[in-house]
RNA sequence: GCGAGAGUGGCGGAACUGGCAGACGCACUGGACUUAGGAUCCAGCGGGCAACCAUGGGGGUUCAACUCCCCCCUCUCGCACCA
């Protein structure tokens, strides 16, 4: 018979089945272990891409596998629906953002359904839905009450021509991405979430995230950027006041021979007044300020500076030291001023050499050979202190402690910890986002919108020009409000929230997406949280994953949830590469999932995406490889089609009692199988073991290869003349059942179909994951490698578990080995049970 | 510069805790079946005639190293004048 694998028909059939039977709907069930499997929700850009296919295929394997293992699995999907592209579409094509977004969602939802993903679609959420973003506003109010949301001036990228703010990624080589005019820095009032309050906990929490990839944790630690040191005041030499610096190396304080201030440092102007250096310093500062930020902060930029004409006093040496302004000192970090220790800091070293400033060695190397004359570069390592007064002779590590204490004792400074992480600026001068729930009243100032007035709904009828800032500025009905406090004239905030706010808590909303009196149901959250497995792209290693952690901690402190961390385990999948470059529209190397699924079906697309590379590595796209995946599925299908007339009880009444119970019975009564069937059974049980173990550690590629191997083994069993042979039917039934079930998380549609072809009445999703039998999987015989001096010279088969002494005898009596040893006496013989013998002669 | 990771056939990739390097797939070669095959099934497939040589290069530990240690090279990603 010719059975052709027709994915189109099969896939739509089973998608309909799952839909109608609500197969993937879940509710809390205290009697089953819960498992929360989550993939990062997509931005509804228009269509899904291969990265999504890969990401969601992985999540689906995990979810389906865990379900078959008896877990109550929450596997939801939704839409990260606010964001700039919707607004750009409005500007370019005149389609309102809401329409554009909802159309995209409808299309992409359909695409995801065509992939056969096991989502509980009843829990779908969309962040641009007022029922969702209302809670962004609610959280904002809660955080405002606690002082975790605050407003202050901050510098932003400003395009004069477009009269709008630009995100950092919209500034390309210092120019506006839209109109190419020069981008300036502008000070604006902005809303911030005080993530810095949680810097320490976010950092120490990294140590507990043992289920996260090390490189993601490294990136987060780096981003938080903790450094411990001291702040020290350097008094000015001939006037009142002092300059505060921050250093992590107080052990080098005696070597501070000058100071450098950031060009933006507020003291500079008063310092230079009356020194005669005004013109020179101001023009230097002006020139530096005009430089592009990115260029200016690049490490390879030439260090330059200018003398202010003033001196400060090194509080330990009491020497007068010159105060400079230097381009490499950043106002954003520390105090915006540094003590310069040229002998022990490479930047200060270069600076001092250039401007002929004094240097002093205060840290000596272990050989004591360090001298200014011979130093080619700064000696930045720790060492023994010299020329450091009472601290001379101490080791750097101890000196750091002692000098810090001394400074505190003298009242000239204190131990301080600095973090690189900045507060999270959430204001966006954009339309398509969550309105920030605040009004500005002439009398009362900043007034939060009362909870009862939430949500502040985005107006729908808005004009998009792309110019003149947020379109909301043109909507009078939106802006003009009464003050909730005094009833007077007030103006509504027109900025919207960063879309990262939306994604910082969506995983909680999935637990109870319909709850309307609170952001989520506390009971439901405490049942489902944490997310047991989170899967997504590495590009979110800091921003989203850090913000979500921050939100989780804030919500915990608000008493809304009980967990400290949102994501227990994290899998970051690699990119999809084609022709040596990341698959992307701009590179023109995309493979459209619709096209792929249209030709080969979703099962093939999924299987290939998982087979071609380990999950965390980049996947090299190969059209041939896709065909290979399709060929494999066809091959499985053909074998099932070939044997189903004999195995399906409806087609063959003889097969009615062929089930696994019977196989067990056969084992017990000791009926002997022909050797090829016995070998196949062994392979079946070994495969179940290996596939199970590999899925547990996300080695999907090797799991699939083991299933392929088993199918190859099944093909080697001759069928002709055995279709009425009970032992043949028993073993084939067991083998095909195993293949279908093991394959089902990867290729669910074809698995359902084949399951049905064999006469099964239930869906594979309801069948428990196959269990292997240790005794059957056990190899009875082992191939022992016999080496002489580490080189393989012979092989011998022995029963498994043969004692070492016996193996040794067998090896030494092997004909080939005897010939090679001759009359030499082995010096030593190593025996590894069940593995090898190495004879050293 | 710092941090994380990687380097294995023609290609994607396997190899547990040190114990037969190259599973599985792709490509290729041969055979079978066929009017036909770019379908399917079976077989072969690192290099070398061989002894042997092969996991980026060089040392080392070991009876035994893709695996452990030291040095070096290359690539990818992230951070980067952070005081």
ipTM score: 0.95
What Å distances lie between residue A350 and A331, A342, A412, A713, CA to CA?
20, 8, 28, 69
Residue A399 in tokens: 């000196």
Nearest residue to A293 via CA among A469, A189, A156, A420: A156
Give the other-Cβ count within 10 Å of A366's Cβ: 9
**Confidence band (pLDDT; 50, 70, 90) for A590?**
confident
Distance CA A679, CA A711 (A): 13
pLDDT attached to residue A172? 61
Which helix (DSSP H) or strand (DSSP E) does residue A546 occupy?
Answer: helix A543-557
Q: Where are the domains of chain A?
A: 35-126+198-220+508-573, 139-194+424-497, 226-419, 623-777, 781-840
Give the other-Cβ count within 10 Å of A102's Cβ: 18
Residue A427 in tokens: 């204001």
Measured to protein CB atoms, the chain B nucleotides within 7 Å are: 3-5, 11-15, 19-21, 23-27, 39-43, 52, 63-65, 77-83
Which of these CATH numbers, 3.40.640.10, 3.40.50.80, 3.30.460.80, 3.40.50.620, describes A35-126+198-220+508-573?
Answer: 3.40.50.620
> Of the ranges A161-170, A266-275, A751-760, A827-836, which is most confident?
A751-760
pLDDT attached to residue A661? 58
User: Which residues, at least 6 apart from A229, have a Cβ–Cβ distance to it below 8 Å?
Assistant: A246, A247, A248, A249, A250, A415, A416, A417, A418
Phi, psi for A364 (deg, rounded to 5): -100, 145
Residue A5 in tokens: 């694998």
| Per-residue model confidence as pLDDT tens digits over A509-536 | 999 999 999 999 999 999 999 999 999 9
Q: Is the CB of residue A262 inside 7 Å of nucleic acid strand B?
A: yes
Domain at A226-419, CATH homologous superfamily: Valyl/Leucyl/Isoleucyl-tRNA synthetase, editing domain (3.90.740.10)
pLDDT attached to residue A162? 67
Distance CA A750, CA A748 (A): 6
- Chain A residues 206 to 235 whose Cβ lies within 7 Å of strand B are 213-215, 218-219, 222-223, 225, 227, 229
Find out if CATH 3.10.20.590 is the number for domain A781-840.
yes
Q: Is the CB of residue A340 inside 7 Å of nucleic acid strand B?
A: no
Distance CA A270, CA A261 (A): 13
Residue A521 DSSP code: -
Q: Is residue A141 scored above 90 in pLDDT?
A: yes
Residue–nucleotide distance: A174 CA to B44 C1' (Å): 60
Residue A148 DSSP code: S
What Å distances lie between residue A561 and A274, A551, A734, CA to CA?
60, 11, 47
The per-residue pLDDT of chain A, averaged, comes to 90
| Per-residue model confidence as pLDDT tens digits over A728-743 | 888 999 999 999 999 9
pLDDT attached to residue A298? 66
What's the whole-number mean pLDDT along residues A398-416?
Answer: 94
Q: If you search the block for the tokens 């007044």, which residue do you land on?
A: A273
> Of the ranges A179-183, A185-189, A709-713, which is most confident?
A709-713
Q: Which nucleotide, over all strands, has the C1' atom closest to the CA of A629?
A: B25
Distance CA A332, CA A329 (A): 9
Residues in chain A: 841
Name which residue leads in pLDDT, A376 or A229: A229
Q: Is the CB of residue A568 inside 7 Å of nucleic acid strand B?
A: no
Strand, helix or coil for residue A490: strand
Q: Is residue A169 scored above 70 in pLDDT?
A: no
What Å distances lie between residue A311 and A72, A234, A285, A320, A714, CA to CA?
71, 10, 19, 6, 87
pLDDT attached to residue A499? 92
Strand (E) positions, A703-822?
781-788, 791-799
Find out if CATH 2.60.40 is the number for domain A139-194+424-497.
no
- Chain A residues 272 to 311 whose Cβ lies within 7 Å of strand B are 296-299, 301-303
Q: Is the dihedral of CA A232, A236, A239, A244 positive or negative?
A: negative
Burial class (CB in 10 A: 0-12, 13-18, 19+), A31: exposed
Q: Is residue A670 scored above 80 in pLDDT?
A: no
Q: Is the dihedral of CA A474, A477, A480, A485 positive or negative?
A: negative
pLDDT attached to residue A153? 87
First to last CA, chain A: 61
Distance CA A631, CA A97 (A): 43
Residue–nucleotide distance: A216 CA to B40 C1' (Å): 47
Q: Which nucleotide, over all strands, has the C1' atom closest to the CA of A582?
A: B76
Percent of chain A with pLDDT over 90: 66
Q: Is residue A165 scored above 50 in pLDDT?
A: yes
Find out if CATH 1.10.730.10 is the number for domain A623-777.
yes
Nearest residue to A719 via CA among A666, A644, A651, A637: A644
Which helix (DSSP H) or strand (DSSP E) does residue A16 occupy?
Answer: helix A7-21
Q: Which nucleotide, over all strands, has the C1' atom closest to the CA of A620?
A: B12
Q: Which nucleotide, over all strands, has the C1' atom closest to the CA of A638?
A: B40
Identical topology for domains A226-419 and A623-777: no
Residue–nucleotide distance: A750 CA to B24 C1' (Å): 21
Q: Are A341 and A316 within 8 A, CB to CB?
A: no
Distance CA A361, CA A358 (A): 10
Q: Is residue A563 scored above 90 in pLDDT?
A: yes
Q: Is residue A164 scored above 90 in pLDDT?
A: no
Q: Which nucleotide, over all strands, has the C1' atom closest to the CA of A4?
A: B39
pLDDT attached to residue A12? 96
Burial A589-608 (b: 16+ CB within 10 A, else e): bbbebeebbeebbbbbbbbb
Q: Is residue A1 scored above 50 in pLDDT?
A: no
Q: Is residue A7 scored above 90 in pLDDT?
A: yes
């Amino acid at each position: 018979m010719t059975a052709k694998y027709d994915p189109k028909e099969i896939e739509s059939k089973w998608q309909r089945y799952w839909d109608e039977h609500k197969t993937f709907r879940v509710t809390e069930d205290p009697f089953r272990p819960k498992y929360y499997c989550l993939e990062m929700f997509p931005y509804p850009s228009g269509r899904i891409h291969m990265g999504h296919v890969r990401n969601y295929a992985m999540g689906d394997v995990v979810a389906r596998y865990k379900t078959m293992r008896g877990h109550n699995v929450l596997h939801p999907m939704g839409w990260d629906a606010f964001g700039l592209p919707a607004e750009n579409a409005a500007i370019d094509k005149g389609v309102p953002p809401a329409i554009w977004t909802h159309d995209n969602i409808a299309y992409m939802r359909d695409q995801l359904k065509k992939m056969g993903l096991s989502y509980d679609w009843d829990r779908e959420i969309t962040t641009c839905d007022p029922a969702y973003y209302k809670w962004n506003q609610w959280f904002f109010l809660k955080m405002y009450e606690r002082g975790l949301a605050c407003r202050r001036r901050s510098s932003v990228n400003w395009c004069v021509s477009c009269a709008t703010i630009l995100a950092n990624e919209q500034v390309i080589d210092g120019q506006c991405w839209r109109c190419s005019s020069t981008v300036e820095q502008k000070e604006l009032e902005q809303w911030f979430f005080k993530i810095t309050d949680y810097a320490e906990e976010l950092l120490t929490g990294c140590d507990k995230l043992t289920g996260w990839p090390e490189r993601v944790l490294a990136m987060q630690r780096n981003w938080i950027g903790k450094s411990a040191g001291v702040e020290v005041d350097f008094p000015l030499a001939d006037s009142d006041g002092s300059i505060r610096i921050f250093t992590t190396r107080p052990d080098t304080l005696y070597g501070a021979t000058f100071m450098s201030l950031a060009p933006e440092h507020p003291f500079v102007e008063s310092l230079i007044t009356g020194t005669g250096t005004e013109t020179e310093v101001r023009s230097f500062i002006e020139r530096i300020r005009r430089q592009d930020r990115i260029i200016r902060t690049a490490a390879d930029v030439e260090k330059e500076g200018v003398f202010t004409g003033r001196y400060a006093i090194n509080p330990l040496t009491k020497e007068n030291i010159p105060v400079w302004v230097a381009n490499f000192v950043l106002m954003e970090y520390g105090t915006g001023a540094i003590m310069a220790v040229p002998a022990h800091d490479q930047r200060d070293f270069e600076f001092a050499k250039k401007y002929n400033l004094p240097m002093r060695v205060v840290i000596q190397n272990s050989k004591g050979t360090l001298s200014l004359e011979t130093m080619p570069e700064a000696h930045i390592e720790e060492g023994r202190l010299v020329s450091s007064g009472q601290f001379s002779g101490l080791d750097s590590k101890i000196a750091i402690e002692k000098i810090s204490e001394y400074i505190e004792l003298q009242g000239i400074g204190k131990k301080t910890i600095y973090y690189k992480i900045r507060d999270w600026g959430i204001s966006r001068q954009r339309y398509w986002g969550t309105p920030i729930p605040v009004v500005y009243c002439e009398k009362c100032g900043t007034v939060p919108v009362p909870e009862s007035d939430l949500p502040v709904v985005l107006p729908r009828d808005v004009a998009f020009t792309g110019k003149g800032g947020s379109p909301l500025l043109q909507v009078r009905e939106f802006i003009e409000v009464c003050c909730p406090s005094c009833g007077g004239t007030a103006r509504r905030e027109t900025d919207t929230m960063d879309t990262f706010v939306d994604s910082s808590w969506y995983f909680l909303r999935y637990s109870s997406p319909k709850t309307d009196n609170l952001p989520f149901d506390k009971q439901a959250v405490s049942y489902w949280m944490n997310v047991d497995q989170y899967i997504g792209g590495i590009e979110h290693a800091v921003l989203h994953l850090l913000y979500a952690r921050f939100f989780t901690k804030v919500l915990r402190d608000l008493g809304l949830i009980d967990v400290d961390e949102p994501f227990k385990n994290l899998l970051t999948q690699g990119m999809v590469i084609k022709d040596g470059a990341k698959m992307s529209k701009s590179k023109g190397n995309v493979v459209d999932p619709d096209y792929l699924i249209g030709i080969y079906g979703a099962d093939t697309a999924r299987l290939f995406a998982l087979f071609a590379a380990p999950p965390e590595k980049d996947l090299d796209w190969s059209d041939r490889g896709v065909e290979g995946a399709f060929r494999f599925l066809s091959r499985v299908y053909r074998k099932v089609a070939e044997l189903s007339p004999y195995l399906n009880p409806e087609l063959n009444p003889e097969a009615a009692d062929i089930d696994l119970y019977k196989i067990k019975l056969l084992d017990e009564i000791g009926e002997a199988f022909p050797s090829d069937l016995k070998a196949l059974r062994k392979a079946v049980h070994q495969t179940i073991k290996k596939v199970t173990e590999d899925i547990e550690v996300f080695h999907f590629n090797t799991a699939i290869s083991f299933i392929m191997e088993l199918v190859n083994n099944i093909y080697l069993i001759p069928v002709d003349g055995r279709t009425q042979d009970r032992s043949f039917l028993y073993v084939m039934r067991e083998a095909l059942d195993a293949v279908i079930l093991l394959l089902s998380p990867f290729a669910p549609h074809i698995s359902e179909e084949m399951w049905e072809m064999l006469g099964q009445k239930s869906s594979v999703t309801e069948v428990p994951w196959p269990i292997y039998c240790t005794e059957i999987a056990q190899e009875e015989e082992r191939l022992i490698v016999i080496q002489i001096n580490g080189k393989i010279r012979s092989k011998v088969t022995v029963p498994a578990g043969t004692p070492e002494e016996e193996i040794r005898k067998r090896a030494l009596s092997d004909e080939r080995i005897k010939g090679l040893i001759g009359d030499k006496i082995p010096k030593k013989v190593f025996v590894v049970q069940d593995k090898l013998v190495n004879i050293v002669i």
